Structure 1
């Protein structure tokens, strides 16, 4: 007679090695989120100060070689260049998740992937419903409220000092990484206008050479960096948004470590490059992009009200606040219902609701898609920024209220997950799980 099957637990802990890796990643993202907040505040204060014209002038400063069609504004360099570095790290993280992380187990991968999909469909539907009568131009921004900004979300968690359990933190990170990948796919498919096939085919040459180099464990920057830059330049020339090059380059990097000739284990290429590049991405690239992208002249309370009267801004705000909540929570509930899986014994549905609200903080990628959706300098470009900032702020405040109410429970779980009675460096709870 077959033994009864152990019920599946949602948001359960992973292995000690995997949870330790994710904890380190989240610490870096939290620091980056704090810098992102600083960049955003500086941009908003400057753009609404008596010297706001100097901020607008700074955005329009052009640098770069005109012969390569790269004489671009600083704002464009931040969106196309610096965010390519950010998406390279996203590509590395996602591949590590699929090869060595939680996503390699289909049962564990299903929930964050489906939640990410649900968390993109629901905001898009809400945006479209609100803008159905606003014309084709307005409908072009349907993808703006679909993204989750993991750095901003973690910065909020750090500010409110909540001790989110390991299972929830892992879910949030995985959902955000999958979310970013889907956003890149949307940008490549729906926001590519003039496609130049020759340049796109040309980009495959340095991309292939980069892949060959990393597969052979070449780690010297003077080989890898020129190939990465050449891939980015040709992708930019092709009409496909240049950030796509970052993800493709990240996907080529091998994840697993291997033994060297002397018998010692060599760190995997993905982990090595992640350690080198993540500080630049989180500490410089994303905060600088936020500084150039978030500066919008609001014009006081009346200006904020006028902006939110535009169905584009309203659709973005409700898409982030309501759509993300409904999409992430609803998908998680359906997965639980149809697979007969239970939440981890220490958690309740209010925890999932708090996480779903937190996913409504869609900042970096939302602003990027907003830039691609509407003409530069148009009134709607500013309305997009107001909608993204308002939706993200409201989501942050609501998530704070929900998650802070559970902080006593989270502290107790954290004590259980960190207790190490035998002082062997591995918490007891992981040894019991094993």
Structure 2
């Protein structure tokens, strides 16, 4: 009787392929710079909202611009949330599609962990928030989704500030988790935060969306053709009552990933991503943060009453406790289900640190808070303070854990960067993955 050959051992947080690792490295550098701009914009908004110029800041956000006949006479704050964030979600859609079609995550064994971690990292904060606000005043429970979103730019800015040498596998996991998180958040927005639905403009949006899809499938790159179609899709989705950022995701999913023929150069999805990611990270998200993060800390009842509000407590607890517990538990369950081991040099302390860092929520959390409670309402103000406080606490706790492990990360990164033969590809990516610990 012939013995079965041993099955290859599965392990989590293994090294990806060198092309994918190098591409993600470029993405993370762009997002880190964007994160610094995001933090700067948020700090400026907080200073202005709590200064003698607060009325000027509020009036600027309330300034209306756009054609009334098309129902697009929106405030600058609404243009930032509905318009600029559509660019952010367009890039997220491109990234997710590329990862699952041509990236390392096309292998289900690699995809299952970040997807499960994203789902767990959204479910647990929602449960924590709901448990704290159950039985509270009417309307408080509508904010259950506020603490569910991870902000990758903010999280990477934290990594940049603490100067940690996080290995490529852990950075890739964090990026993928955040992208899946963003896409799940847009589903939540479309399903749970659409107050009224107008079918005619929604159906009409299919026409420019279909034309956009037909052109990009033919690998058309001409901005003067694609941009008007994208704008028309966005405007019609906005008019339908569905949040307009959904249009960004749909447009991103229409773009093909693979090239029609073999040859040098990026595919169309990567081409668009390279051009629009700097716009998203460097302009769209920071401008949204500038209009959304400006909250007065001496609002109704003062800061003491704000911090005692179950909405604030639920958001903070969801981001700090719920996110960490959800990501950590989902990763452990995947390990148990697949009987996998952690990758070379990775321990559960590292997973714990990343789980804490996933509690840094900002951009999408602020957007959901506005949709849940109404922009400028007292509960929205409290949710924003909860987002800021929870993100800060999660960032500080993650900093402690990851800095303790930084010496170990430095050694791993040195090994990953070693290129003895000088061909531009580190040696560890030219041999079989090292066995798990």
Residues 22-421 of structure 1: matches in 2 within 5 Å? 22-259=24-261, 264-299=263-298, 303-421=302-420
Q: Which moved more, 1:51-60 or 1:201-210?
A: 51-60
User: In structure 1, the residue corresponding to 2:52 is in which secondary structure?
Assistant: coil
Q: How far is 1:199 from its partner?
A: 0.5
In structure 1, the partner of 2:422 is: 423
**Superposed CA offset, 1:396-433 (max 9, x none):** 00000000000000000000000000100000010113
Structure-1 separation of matches of 2:303 and 2:338: 45
Q: Which moved more, 1:305-314 or 1:108-117?
A: 305-314
CA contact (8 A) 1:304 1:386 kept: no
Structure-1 separation of matches of 2:175 and 2:432: 22
CA contact (8 A) 2:186 2:246 kept: yes
Structure-2 separation of matches of 1:277 and 1:85: 8
Q: How far is 1:266 from its partner?
A: 4.8
Q: Which runs of 5+ in 1 are unaligned?
A: none
Structure-2 separation of matches of 1:306 and 1:418: 51
Q: Which runs of 5+ in 2 are unaligned?
A: none
| 4+ residue runs over 4 A deviation | none
Q: How far is 1:303 from its partner?
A: 3.1
**Superposed CA offset, 1:368-389 (max 9, x none):** 0001001233211110110000
Structure-1 separation of matches of 2:70 and 2:370: 22
Structure-1 separation of matches of 2:265 and 2:35: 31
Q: How many residues align?
A: 430
Q: How far is 1:207 from its partner?
A: 0.4
Structure-2 separation of matches of 1:111 and 1:375: 35
With normalisation by structure 1, the TM-score equals: 0.97
Q: How far is 1:306 from its partner?
A: 1.8
CA contact (8 A) 2:418 2:427 kept: yes
**Superposed CA offset, 1:80-136 (max 9, x none):** 000000000000000001101122110110000011000000000000000001134
Structural RMSD (CA): 1.2
Q: How far is 1:276 from its partner?
A: 1.1
CA contact (8 A) 1:28 1:282 kept: yes
Structure-2 separation of matches of 1:70 and 1:61: 13
Structure-1 separation of matches of 2:418 and 2:207: 51
Structure-2 separation of matches of 1:376 and 1:422: 58
Structure-2 separation of matches of 1:377 and 1:157: 31
Q: How far is 1:151 from its partner?
A: 0.4
2:7 maps to which of 5, 16, 26:
5
Structure-1 separation of matches of 2:157 and 2:391: 12
Structure-1 separation of matches of 2:164 and 2:190: 36
CA contact (8 A) 1:211 1:253 kept: yes
CA contact (8 A) 2:17 2:104 kept: no
User: In structure 1, the residue corresponding to 2:431 is in which secondary structure?
Assistant: helix
